[in-house]
Amino acid sequence: MERLRSSPLHANISTALDKHLEAIQVVQARRKDEIVNASSRQRHGPPRCQDERVVLALAAALRALCQATRKVRTVLWCAFQMSLPK
Q: What would the DSSP string read from start to end of 6-70?
A: TSPPPHHHHHHHHHHHHHHHHHHHHHHHHHHHHHHHHHH---HHHHHHHHHHHHHHHHHHHHHHH
72 in Cβ contact with 17 (< 8 Å): yes
C-beta neighbour count of 37 within 10 angstroms = 15
Instruction: Specify which of 8-12, 14-18, 69-73 reaches the highest per-range mean pLDDT.
Output: 69-73
- Which sequence spans correspond to the domains of the chain? 10-80
13 in Cβ contact with 58 (< 8 Å): no
pTM of the model as a whole: 0.79
pLDDT reported for residue 72: 97
Higher pLDDT: 5 or 31? It is 31
pLDDT at 42 over 70: no
pLDDT at 9 over 70: yes
Confidence of residue 65 (pLDDT cuts 50, 70, 90): very high
Read off φ and ψ for residue 45, nearest 5 degrees.
Answer: 110, 175
